[in-house]
Amino acid sequence: ERTETIVSLSSDDDDDDDDDGAEEGIEPEYPAWTPHCPAGPNAALRWSSTTTSEWLSLPLPELRRRRSGQGLSLEAYALRDIEEGEEVYVDYGRGWEGAWYDHLEGWNARGAERKE
């Protein structure tokens, strides 16, 4: 199994600070989320910290109050060598894919409401 972290995704979104870790005028070279590809993923997601288990046991109001620190963080790691410029794909699983298609069937983009 590959262990090199290629993307780190965090729930810590301090609204008072727009610093994304990049130098001014330079955009990060990774997306906020990686695309779904069940047929041939080249990466996988995992919790990025041993302290994540503490965060997973907290009720939602407590998670919202904790605005500092790492929070819930995922990292994408390579399943194989990924070439420079190659898109990173993960398999979110059948449950996610089914929920996504259910969402698409019920979505009305024009009215931004769910279809009945």
Q: How many domains does the chain have?
A: 1
Question: pTM of whole model > 0.75?
Answer: no
pLDDT number for residue 114: 54
* Residue 18: inside a domain: no
* Residue 102: inside a domain: no
Nearest C-alpha neighbor of 90 from the set 23, 39, 28, 16: 39
* Residue 107: inside a domain: no
Nearest C-alpha neighbor of 64 from the set 12, 10, 1: 12
* Residue 52: inside a domain: yes
Question: What stretches in the chain show pLDDT beneath 70?
Answer: 1-34, 49-52, 67-73, 109-116
pLDDT number for residue 23: 37
* Residue 63: inside a domain: yes
Q: Give me the amino acid identity at 88.
A: V
pLDDT number for residue 16: 43
* Residue 72: inside a domain: yes
| Domain interval for residue 47 | 5-11+31-91
Determine the straight-line distance between the first and last CA of the chain, rounded to whole angstroms: 45
* Residue 56: inside a domain: yes
pLDDT number for residue 32: 54
